[in-house]
Structures are given as C-alpha cells and as structure tokens.
A and B are shown apart, each in its own frame.
Chain A
Amino acid sequence: MKQGSETPKTESRHPRLGLVCSHGGHLTEMLQLSEAFAGHDAFYFCYDADTTRRLPNAYLVPNKPYSPVRFVLNLVKLTGIFRRERPDCIVSTGAELAIPAFIIAWLLRIPRLYIECGAQVTHPSLTGKLMVRLSTSFFVQWPELLEFYGPRARYCGSLIDETDPEATAR
C-alpha cells in the first residue's frame, strides 16, 4: 500500500473508524457496540491474543501494559497506522491501550470517542481520568460516575444493565 496513491479528498468514501481495545471484556464490549459502526470501514488496534487474532483488519501489539518502552513503541506504531489508514474517528472501550492511541489522534486532530468500561461502577479508572480530558466524547455506563467525571461525561445507558436511561429520564 503506497502512501502516494491516497484517495483524493473529493471522492466520497465511507467514514473510517479506528477501534482500540484490549483483548478481554473490553473487546466483548466493542463487539456488542458493533451496530453503532454499521456502514463504516473499520480497523482494530488491540493486544495480541487468541481473541484478537480472529478480528478482520487488526493491528496487534504485545500485551505489556506497564512497559514504558512498549508505550513509546506503540506511539510510533500508531503514528504510522493512523497516517496510512487515515481514520475519521477513533473509538475505544479501554483499557490503557487507549492512552497512546488518543494521544496520537489528538495530535493528528482525529475525533476521539471513549466508552468507559462497564466494570467501572462507582469509582473512576485511571485511564478514564485521562480519557475524559483527551476525548471529544466520553460515555460512562453507570450514572454514579457522572459526578466524578464532570460535565464532559455522558450517561446514555450501558451494555450490562437492564435499566433504560430514557425510562428513568435524566
């Protein structure tokens, strides 16, 4: 894939999404949200695992969440991927793998949507505290979290709970 032969901007194309998540429950959540991505082209950026090797269009990196070296390598790799794939929007369900992705997307001025993991019920996560500042849209899955994350956070329901937020009308 040569970079010189990019699609001209005038030509219409489907919006392209970069989906960023780790390989366990965060991936389960991403897949459960897939209806929201229908009609869009997408690629994944994930940790390398059995579950993620089956994904179409996936860029996989080693599962080393606390390695500073890996963090820098991910920044470099993401810069290349985003330049090549030209995503119109980055979506992440966490976890910490979203941090380098959102930093690069922020630098490249690509919109960034973060959905806090449904396992965060009453306390914000460390990644979430960063993401609420780095993202352009930030969703929580439990209303209890709104007071911690402030006005940038939105609660529009969740993947796990049976409560319909519209029925309980905020």
Chain B
Amino acid sequence: MIYATVGTMHLEFSRLIYRMDAIAEKTDEQIIVQTGLGLVTPDHCEHFDFDSRERVLELQRSARVIVCHAGIGSVIDALEAGRPLVVIPRLKRFNEHNNDHQVDLAEAVERRGWGRMIRAIEELEPACAEPPPAYEGYKPARQPLVTALRGAIEQATSKGQ
C-alpha cells in the first residue's frame, strides 16, 4: 500500500493528488491519499480529508511507501513510522505554499539519509516503484530543546515574584 499525505495546509496540493491518481490508474497496489483542506480529490484510489491521529499513524506504519509533503508534522510522523519515505516539497510557483521552505526540509531529509526528495513530479512514479530503503532506528534528540525551553519558562515565570 502506498500512503500519500498533503498535511493540514490551507492551500491545494493538486500536483501530488493528480499524480497519485494517475499512478493508481496503472497499478493494482492499494493507494490511500489524505487530501486535507483542498477541494481536489483522486478518482482511482481511496482518499479521505482528515482522520484520527491513531488511524493516520496506523496507515503510515502499514504502508510500503509513505509519500508526504515536506511539512514538519508529516515528516516526523513518517520517520517515526520507519517506512520508506518519499518527500515532495510544496512549491510557491504552483501556489502550494507561501514560500519554498519545504525544499529546504526535503533537502535535509535527503542529506540525513531519511528519504528521497522529489524534484520533478515525473520522479514520483519511479520513486514509489523503487523507494529508498527505510531509515532504521530514527531517534530524534529532543531532550536538549525541551530542557532549554523548560529553563526559559522557569526564568520567565519567576520574574517579579
């Protein structure tokens, strides 16, 4: 099963949805697309706009490949699912986002060996057919930031007492 997700952004990501639909037309493999706030939906595969976090995480864990926009929540969830990951950044020139910062995150994903970045939409079908290997043992180092934030909160709330 291929699971594709566009996140919670208020702008359309029809480029990804149409391409997943085209892939679905050609393959027997199940494809499930999360379509978000946009109005565009695929005709040849299962889709839903939003679902519970539990169901979404379950879909990610059972996917052969995860295809996601390069949003922070989607990428972290996908990495934690530990499945082969294909990341496609939303681009400003297609009005998919208000700037091109998703390219930076997608490049970081590739640099870290976490997954593959799609630079042109034609790359999506071969990338789904032969995805990069899953990144094993993803272990984000969150504690230093949590500790620093806690310290900053304590400092901020103790002033004037």
Q: Which partner residue on chain B sits nearest A90 by CB separation?
A: B156
Contact indicator B144/A164 (Cβ below 8 Å) = yes
Stretch at the interface among B19-27, B39-47, B65-73, B125-133: B65-73
Q: Which of A50, A89, A119, A159 has the most CB of B within 10 A?
A: A119
In-complex Cβ contact of B101 among A27, A28, A40, A121 (8 A): A121
Contact indicator A89/B144 (Cβ below 8 Å) = no
A151 to chain B: closest CB distance in Å?
Answer: 16
Contact indicator B145/A156 (Cβ below 8 Å) = yes
Report the Cα distance A15→B152, complex, angstroms: 13
Knowing A157-B141, A157-B144, A162-B139, say if A36 contacts B105 (CB, 8 Å): no
Contact indicator B101/A29 (Cβ below 8 Å) = no
Q: Beta-carbon contacts of A23-52 to B below 8 Å, as 1s and 0s?
A: 111111100110111001000000001110
Q: Beta-carbon contacts of B128-157 to A below 8 Å, as 1s and 0s?
A: 000000000011111111111110110011
Report the Cα distance A105→B150, complex, angstroms: 19
Tell me the dominant secondary structure on chain B's binding face.
helix
CB-CB nearest 3 A-B residue pairs:
A25-B73, A24-B8, A157-B144
Q: 29 A-B contacts, Cβ less than 8 Å apart?
A: A17-B157, A24-B8, A25-B76, A28-B73, A29-B72, A32-B142, A33-B145, A40-B153, A88-B157, A111-B159, A113-B149, A113-B152, A118-B76, A119-B72, A120-B101, A121-B104, A121-B107, A122-B104, A137-B152, A156-B144, A156-B148, A157-B144, A158-B145, A159-B72, A160-B72, A161-B112, A161-B141, A164-B144, A165-B144
Chain A residues close to B by CB (< 8 Å): 15, 17, 22-29, 32-33, 35-37, 40, 49-51, 63, 65, 88-89, 91, 111, 113, 115, 117-123, 125-126, 136-137, 139, 141-142, 154, 156-166
